[in-house]
Amino acid sequence: MHVEAAIRDRRTHKAFGSEPLPRELLDELLDLARWAPNHRLTNPWRFRVVGPQARELLKLAAGPEAASKLDRAPTLVAASVVLSGDEVQQQEDLCATACAIYAVLLAAHGRGLAGYWRTPEVLRRPEGLAALQIGADERCLALIHLGWPRQERQPPERLALDQVTTYLP
């Protein structure tokens, strides 16, 4: 799949098959994420593949209403950024980690997988972070849902280029 096609065709999916992704496939996706651009080559991203015990702890932390959303996809990957303490570097690292997350989603799409970038409220609370062993020196940016798609998704409307672009003199 060409990069342009992957960017235009990738969609957020919320309906997944039940089979978890094999470790080898997850390793391929996460290995590609390591190639995201990052200022000073800090490699600030950390990925945690959520196993059954961690998922149960996360569901308990989320509470009954939000827990069901954590069962949508058979494979969950938490993505966090290491906090350096330097405000400028942290901004760079946050953006780099977002790029790495997007690389995972694009690579998954290129392999026929469905993906969903979530930022659930439970990952902004101490008990949710503890469930995924994310310490105070990190900030969680995403809970990536991955699996085989159960539906086709149509592209949403996008703003026209001239609505989001300004050429300055």
| Sequential pLDDT tens for the chain (169 residues) | 788 888 888 888 889 999 999 999 999 999 999 999 999 999 999 999 999 999 999 999 999 999 999 999 999 999 999 999 999 999 999 999 999 999 999 999 999 999 999 999 999 999 999 999 999 999 999 999 999 999 887 878 889 999 999 999 9
Q: Residue 152: its pLDDT value, please? A: 82
Distance between CA 35 and CA 103 in Å, rounded?
A: 8
Say if 16 falls within a structural domain: yes
The torsion defined by the Cα of 94, 96, 99 and 103, in degrees rounded to 10, comes to -120
Global pTM value: 0.93
Distance between CA 45 and CA 90 in Å, rounded?
A: 11
Distance between CA 28 and CA 17 in Å, rounded?
A: 20
Number of domains in the chain: 1
CATH code of 90's domain: 3.40.109.10
Say if 54 falls within a structural domain: yes
Q: Residue 9: its pLDDT value, please? A: 87
Q: Which residues have C-beta within 8 Å of that of residue 159, sequence separation ≥ 6?
A: none
Say if 169 falls within a structural domain: no
Say if 62 falls within a structural domain: yes
Distance between CA 157 and CA 141 in Å, rounded?
A: 25
Distance between CA 33 and CA 47 in Å, rounded?
A: 10
Say if 50 falls within a structural domain: yes
Q: Which residues have C-beta within 8 Å of that of residue 41, sequence separation ≥ 6?
A: none
Say if 26 falls within a structural domain: yes
**Residue 130 token pair:** 């503890």
Q: Residue 109: its pLDDT value, please? A: 94
Q: Residue 162: its pLDDT value, please? A: 95
Beta bridge partners of 138: 82
Which range of residues forms the domain containing residue 103? 3-164
